Amino acid sequence: MWKKLVLATFLLLGVNLIFAQYKVKPNGNGNGKTWQNAASLQMALSMSQSGAEIWLQEGTYYPVQCNPCTETDRKISFVIPNGVRIYGGFAGNETNKEQRNWQANKTRLSGDIDQDNSSRNNSFSVVFTNNVGNLTVLDGVIISDGNAQGNTASNEAPMVSGGGWYNGSIGTLESNPQIINCTFENNAADGFGGAMYNMGAFEGICLPFYKNCIFKNNQSKYDGGAIYSNGSFGGNCNFILEDCLFENNFAGSEIGSGGALFNNGIEGVCNPKIRNCKFDYQSASLHGGAIYNQGKSGEASPIFNNCVFNKNKAEQGGAMYNLGAKIGGNSSPFMTNCTFYGNVAKDYGGAITVNGDLGGTSEPVFRNCIFSNNVGQIEGDLFYLINGHPFLEYCLVDKSNCIQLRTALGNQSRVDCGSGMIYNKPPKFQNPANGDLKIKHNSAALDSGNPDFISLNVDINNNSRSLLENIDIGAYEYDGSPPTKLDTFHTDSNDDYVSINWIYGREYEMSGCEIQRGRDSFNFETIAWVPSIGNNPNGQFYQAFDVPPQRGETYTYRLHCFEKDSCDQYFGLDTAFVRPNEILTKAYPIPATTSTNLKVYFPRDNGQNRLRVVLVDYVGKAVIENEEISPGKGWTSYQYDVTQFCSGIYYFHIYANKEKFIIPVIVSKL
């Protein structure tokens, strides 16, 4: 009996541990079981075991409070135990987690432990995790004002890296927290990773998951202004970033690379998956304004989907630098539906530098991507290649051809362009000056992507792809009013005019159309302007009329339409034969050498019209005399042999419908 009682007690205790829940508020001093008896955060962390939840009331939390603060104080962090879930954003009266509002109820974990609004004596790392699994969660908090500027031998050790958060795993252990709805701001490091440092080196595994996070105004003295992820020397740091924004992060106040991310795969692996993320205004003093992928003797080949690189800058690789150097090294990112705009390299590679030197490999792939207004101030607006080999298909670029995409060093360098490329076309962003890189309704990127390449059926804003007939190129799917679609264009001939008709299946932001007429398909003149009736999502019919200058001719008509921004978007092409209201006759060639051709047109020809043809010489003698029958509607041609005739002028006398026509014919034997 007592054994059953002990077992039941143990099971009950286990349930209490799994579902333990602590209410926390700033300066709380209770046991955390209720909001009225809320605990401090440090107390709740000390009591929590795997499975526990900690609810944070809005406000600011400090790892310790001191003034003045010692180095010992600065070493104190919020240490999250394995499997503990922390949620910010509570008002302090909720009874279930779904009632919280983390956006309205700001919850801050601050390293400004002396509260002097200066970073000088702030916490080395605000948050610390070590060897935690993926059931460890931090959700809905702001992590700010960490300052890792301690005195240690290694720039990758705690105290000098990961000002906002140091996440560590060395050896065969793992550290894989989930970081959701969090903001990292104003954190700094004297080593690496101003906002966060992920240590997975030396056969460690470090796979954090980021979702809907913001990183802004973080900086490092060396590499990784926001995040430094270390999978070197047999380690693995294949983390995931989803729906995150990076803004104004900086690497290299002394010298550094990777303003937002530094992915270190030296003799190891660091292949993150990055989707639906924006990198705005990142900078690095050396390489990779937004991202540096280091696959030196290892692997650093991230996979990107629906990402934006906007106005980042560095010395080389304004947006990204890929290093796959040395034997076995590989840095070949795979990028789908990404947008590169306004990135600047002080030297080379305005958008991207691709380095596969010293026997390494760097062969990035770009599909359904936009490259616009990137600048390499010395060379290479898009790519600078050091024995590198990018491949592009279904991309829109602001260069005239594939060759113009690169500046290269090394005889192994080349850029290959596959199908679906769009050259020398502006992407027509909504408002690029203000960072709005959504495309307009008349962008060449609209409906021009290849859906076979996408793994996500949504764009960077989680809007459905294929809003219209196809997917768009770039990170954003067009989500405005459906653009103009020309359904039909045709012409109809009548006795006295030509009717020109066209139908828009839908019409949006059109100015109007020119009607152009030509004798062939190459040379046209504008004969009319037809203004737009106005926007109509359900179809619009237009009609115009032309009284041509000469009957009996075949004309080609072309529709040339304009958007309100003067962009010419739509064409239609058709031909019309203009019937005469009288008999027409022609003779050719002029001069005739072996034969002459007579053409006759009857305006109402039922195939029963008869005509008498007489060819007379210059003295009036008939040299040919025939009775002919027209075979039906249209022009009828008759051919006559003149090989036996002498050079001179002859005349066709044509008798038809009680009318007589005379046409001169020149015969030349010269």
pLDDT at 468: 82
Residue 133 has pLDDT above 50, yes or no: yes
Q: Which residues are registered as beta bridge partners of 485?
A: 506
pLDDT value of residue 451:
95
Task: Say yes or no to pLDDT of 616 above 70.
Answer: yes
Give 453-520 as a 3 state SS string: HCCCCECCCCCECCCCCCCCCCCCCCCCCCCCEEEEEEEEECCCCEEEEEEEEEECCEEEEEEEEECC
Whether residues 495 and 460 share a domain: the answer is no
DSSP 284-317: ESSB-SSEEEE-TTSB---EEES-EEES-EEEE-
Residues 531 and 392 in one domain: no
Direct distance between the N- and C-terminal alpha carbons of the chain, in angstroms, rounded to an integer: 131
Residue 30 confidence (pLDDT): 97
Rounded Cα–Cα distance for residues 604 and 620 (Å): 32
Report pLDDT digits (tens) over 437-476. 999 998 999 999 999 999 989 999 999 998 788 999 999 9
Per-residue model confidence (pLDDT) at position 9: 39
Model confidence band, residue 539 (pLDDT cutoffs 50, 70, 90) = confident
Q: Is the pLDDT of residue 181 over 50?
A: yes
Per-residue burial over 466-505, b if 16 or more Cβ lie within 10 Å, else e, is ebeeebbbbbbbbeeeebbebeebebebeeeebebbbbbe
Closest by Cα among 66, 64, 39, 76 to 54: 39
Whether residue 360 is contained in a domain is answered as yes
Region of 93 please: left (phi>0), alpha (psi -120 to 50) or beta: alpha
Residue 434 φ then ψ, to 5°: -105, 15
* CA–CA–CA angle 216, 187, 331 (5° rounding): 65
Q: Are 402 and 426 in the same domain?
A: yes
Residue 565: CATH number of its domain: 2.60.40.10
- Quote the pLDDT of residue 3: 43
Mean pLDDT of the chain: 91
Mean pLDDT (whole number) for 65-69: 95
Task: Identify the H or E element spanning 270.
Answer: none
pLDDT at 14: 43
In a domain, 156, yes or no: no
pLDDT bracket for residue 12 (50, 70, 90): very low
**Residue 542 falls within a domain, yes or no?**
yes
Look at residue 450 and tell me if it is in a domain. Answer: yes
Specify if 350 maps to a domain. yes
- Please give the pLDDT value at position 604: 65
Give the pLDDT score at 6. Answer: 39
pLDDT score recorded for residue 526: 93
What band does 190 get if pLDDT is binned at 50, 70 and 90? very high
Q: CA-based Rg of the chain, rounded to a whole angstrom?
A: 38
Identify the CA nearest to 127 among candidates 54, 42, 50, 52: 42
pLDDT in the model for residue 469 = 83
Q: Give the model confidence (pLDDT) of 311-367 as tens digits.
A: 999 999 999 999 999 999 999 999 999 999 999 999 999 999 999 999 999 999 999
DSSP 150: -
Among 521, 548, 577, residue at a domain's last position: 577
**What is the Cα–Cα distance from 535 to 509, expressed in whole angstroms?**
6
Contact 231, 206 (CB under 8 A): yes
Q: Are 260 and 249 in contact (CB under 8 A)?
A: yes
How many structural domains does the chain have?
3
Q: Give the predicted TM-score (pTM) of the model.
A: 0.83
Domain shared by 504 and 546, yes or no: yes
Q: What is the pLDDT of residues 70-126, one digit of tens each?
A: 999 999 999 999 999 999 999 999 999 999 999 999 999 999 999 999 999 999 999
Ranking 1-10, 183-192, 397-406, 552-561 by mean pLDDT, the lowest is: 1-10
Residues 327 and 465 in one domain: yes
541 lies in the same domain as 618? no
End residue of a domain, out of 459, 479, 499: 479
Q: Would you state the pLDDT for residue 279? A: 98
pLDDT at 31: 96
Q: How far apart are CA 168 and CA 189, in angstroms?
A: 16
- Distance, in Å, from the CA atom of 320 to the CA atom of 366, rounded to the nearest integer, reads 13
The pLDDT of residue 632 is 65
CA distance 226 to 244: 12
pLDDT digits (tens, 9 = 90+) for 218-235: 999 999 999 999 999 999
Note the pLDDT tens digit of each residue in 367-396. 999 999 999 999 999 999 999 999 999 999
CA angle 319–325–327, rounded 5-degree value: 155
Q: Judge whether 331 and 365 are in contact, CB under 8 Å.
A: no
From edge to edge, which strands make up the β-sheet containing 219-220? 147-148, 188-189, 219-220, 250-251, 283-284, 313-316, 344-348, 375-376
The pLDDT > 70 percentage for the chain reads 93
- pLDDT category of residue 19 using cuts at 50, 70 and 90: low
In whole angstroms, what is the distance from residue 268 CA to residue 233 CA? 5
| CB neighbours of residue 644 within 10 Å | 6
Q: CB-based contacts of 195: which residues, under 8 Å, 6+ apart?
A: 143, 162, 163, 164, 165, 184, 187, 215, 218, 225, 226, 227, 249
Task: Dig out the tokens for 188 from the structure.
Answer: 């700094």
Domain range for 555: 485-577
Please, which pLDDT band fits residue 581 given cuts at 50, 70 and 90?
Answer: low
Q: Is the pLDDT of residue 11 over 50?
A: no
Q: Which of 479, 514, 537 represents a domain boundary (last residue)?
A: 479
Contact 194, 165 (CB under 8 A): no
The torsion region of residue 461 among left (phi > 0), alpha (psi -120 to 50) and beta comes to alpha
Residues 333 and 430 in one domain: yes
Is the pLDDT score of 579 beyond 70? no
- Do 453 and 496 belong to one domain? no
Q: Which tens digits make up the pLDDT trace of 30-53?
A: 999 999 999 999 999 999 999 999
Helix (H, G, I), strand (E, B) or coil at 451: helix
Instruction: Give the model's pLDDT for residue 128.
Output: 98
Alpha-carbon distance 586 to 179, whole Å? 85
Higher pLDDT, 226 or 606: 226
At residue 635, the pLDDT reads: 77
The pLDDT of residue 606: 64
Specify whether 643 is located in the same domain as 573.
Answer: no
Domain shared by 314 and 349, yes or no? yes
Identity of the residue numbered 386: I
* Closest to 382 in 3D by CA, of 372, 396, 367, 369: 372
Lowest mean pLDDT among 142-146, 582-586, 643-647, 650-654: 582-586
d(CA 105, CA 58): 5
147: phi > 0 → left, psi -120 to 50 → alpha, else beta; which? beta
Please report, to the nearest 10 degrees, the dihedral formed by the alpha carbons of residues 336, 224, 269, 296 taken in order: 100
Report if residue 520 sits inside a domain.
yes
The verdict on 505 and 457 lying in the same domain is no
Q: Does position 408 have pLDDT exceeding 80, yes or no?
A: no
* Dist CA 532 CA 544 (whole Å): 13
Q: Which of 118-132, 182-196, 609-623 has the lowest mean pLDDT?
A: 609-623
| Rounded Cα gap, residues 42 and 610, in angstroms | 111
Count of C-beta atoms within a 10 Å radius of residue 101: 13
Overall size of the chain counted in residues: 670
Band of the pLDDT at 553, cuts 50, 70, 90? Answer: confident
User: Between β-strands 648-656 and 610-616, what pairing exists: parallel, antiparallel or unpaired?
Assistant: antiparallel
Distance, in Å, from the CA atom of 419 to the CA atom of 397, rounded to the nearest integer, reads 13
310 vs 546 pLDDT, higher one: 310
Nearest CA-CA partner of 44 in 18, 91, 79: 79
Residue 364 included in any domain: yes
- 14-26 mean pLDDT: 74
What's the rounded Cα separation, in Å, for the pair 586 and 592? Answer: 13
Question: How far is Cα 169 from Cα 136, in angstroms, rounded to an integer?
Answer: 14
Nearest CA-CA partner of 121 in 148, 141, 102: 148
574-599 average pLDDT score:
83
Higher per-residue confidence, 410 vs 238 = 238
* CB 404, CB 424: distance < 8 Å: no
What is residue 618's predicted lDDT score, i.e. its pLDDT? 82
In a domain, residue 561? The reply is yes
Q: Is the pLDDT of residue 624 over 60?
A: yes
Amino acid of residue 611: L
Q: Do 319 and 446 fall into the same domain? A: yes
CA pair distance 368, 189, nearest whole angstrom? 36
Report pLDDT digits (tens) over 285-325: 999 999 999 999 999 999 999 999 999 999 999 999 999 99
